[in-house]
Amino acid sequence: MILELHKKLKAGNISAKELAEEYLKIAEDKNKVLNSYISITKDYAISHLPDKIESILDGIPGCIKDNINILSTNTTAGSQVLKEYISPYTATVISNLDKFTLIGKGNMDSFAFGSTTQNSYFGPSLNPHDINTVAGGSSGGVASAVAAGSAVFGIGSDTGGSVRQPASFCGIVGLKPTYGLISRYGLIAMGSSFDVIGIMANTVDDVALILNEACKYDPKDSTSLNIKKKIDYSKFSDISKLKVGVLKFNDDGVEKDVITAFSNSIEDIKKLGCSVKEVVIDHLKYVIAAYYILVPSEISANMARFDGIRFGYHPKGVKDLEEFYIEARSKFEDEVKRRILIGTYTLSSGYYDAYYSKADAVRRLIKQEFDEAFRDVDVIVSPTSPTVAYRKDKVFDNPLELYLSDIFTIPANLIGAPAISIPNGLSCDNLPTGLQIMGPQLSELNILSLANKLYKKYG
């Protein structure tokens, strides 16, 4: 879609202003129902239109998750504590995308803590496939916007599946690249050793084109990878000799329609000429436990800056510093408070060795197992999510129910590997299911190439 729009813009068949106005109108109309956007940036979009169409993304309408800073725009991270915050600078990934048209800032779970967008201060985003279901999270607003056609592409963040899971729920493509491939400078941090900026679009071709523009070395990000050899991710490689590992998993809690779609995908992979073998990761059962100790620990440290003095809600009329802090931090949403408390506890004296150190050791063991598996196979496939999109009125009495839904997506973040979700079918209720393809670090071309072949069949 991006290539076709680029050709039309380049030929003058449509102007950047006409395209922007068309998508802004769609966004305004659909947002009344879907709540995909926290803010629709009409004035910004019109005032930043390119004078000349040169790069592939010039004038292409996009949605950016609202935890990514763009100069002079409101960046809320989905929380009331930042609802008045105006960014003084622009994230590197946005600068790399050059002169795209910003349609709006996508809705999200507060500070990216969640998987339904129901933790957003601005209300949940809904799924265009069925407005009685959620769009997923935490990048649910971006996925909803792309799936609804109010943006051509979206940029989100993925700390444990926050690009891939909503992509699966909304029936689009979502890529989490290798850790460090896309600069995180300008992203509001959640878990700094897990956070990755990811890409969402309606086709694998579009994701590849955006990745080409987004992944440039950035000295402002100490984790940014300086890759000497430039790869064109849109030039897909031959996958007929690809060795594909099928992740063995306990299907308790995995919906029947998800298992059926996954089994069908395995057969489709075989038909492409790929060899297929089962992959067993013994420590897979510890993934959730390790992640939900390590990430809240990093959250606890990262959230310290939102104290009402440097950033966040600034109380007025309080009598002393203690009351100031209590009032400022009481404005955090419940899930934010929960994760800060968990992280502070696991880092505290007397519990650090009992929890954090052990979880970090498990992380290393999981990485070792996946590294060993990738010596035998080129990629590993699994469902993206154990379920299709949840109904918006579903009540999760125990947060652990939601945490368990990340079982397939978290490993890629634990080991810093790339993974992509593509739609691979529909449930009996006509809700999308997703297939995840994960590879070793810097294997984006392999996973995109296989994803593209399969997407051509499913799309």
Query: Using the 8-state DSSP alphabet, how is residue 81 labeled?
Result: G
Cβ contacts of 387 within 8 Å, gap of 6 or more: 254, 255, 258, 405
The predicted pLDDT at position 403 comes to 86
* pLDDT value at residue 394: 86
Note the pLDDT tens digit of each residue in 267-312.
999 999 999 999 999 999 999 999 999 999 999 999 999 989 888 9
Q: Which DSSP state fits 398?
A: S
Q: What is the mean pLDDT of residues 157-183?
A: 98
Q: Residue 257's pLDDT band (boundaries 50, 70, 90)?
A: very high
Residue 138 annotated as catalytic: yes
pTM greater than 0.85 (yes/no): yes
What digits encode the pLDDT tens for the residues 113-140?
A: 999 999 999 999 999 999 999 999 999 9
Query: Given 36, 79, 120, 138, which residue is catalytic?
Result: 138
What's the mean pLDDT when you consider all of the chain?
96
Is the Cβ–Cβ distance between 409 and 156 less than 8 Å? no
Please report the DSSP string for 111-122 in residue order: GG--SSSTT-TT
The three-class DSSP label of residue 327 is: helix
Q: What letter represents residue 388's amino acid? A: V
Residue 192 catalytic? no
Enclosing H/E stretch for 131: strand 130-134
- Write out the DSSP string of 237-249: PP-TT-EEEEE--
Q: DSSP secondary-structure letter at 355?
A: I
Please, which residues have CB within 8 angstroms of residue 27's CB and are 6 or more apart in sequence?
36, 37, 40, 103, 104, 145, 150, 151
d(CA 454, CA 352): 45
Structure confidence at residue 402 (pLDDT): 85
Catalytic residue among 65, 176, 216, 331: 65
Catalytic-role residue among 115, 144, 162, 405: 162
Other CB atoms within 10 A of residue 216 CB: 18
Residue 443: active-site member:
no
Superfamily for 1-459? Answer: Amidase signature (AS) domain (3.90.1300.10)
Percent of the chain with pLDDT over 70: 99
Cα–Cα distance, 444 to 382 (Å, whole number): 17
Q: What pLDDT does 459 receive?
A: 62
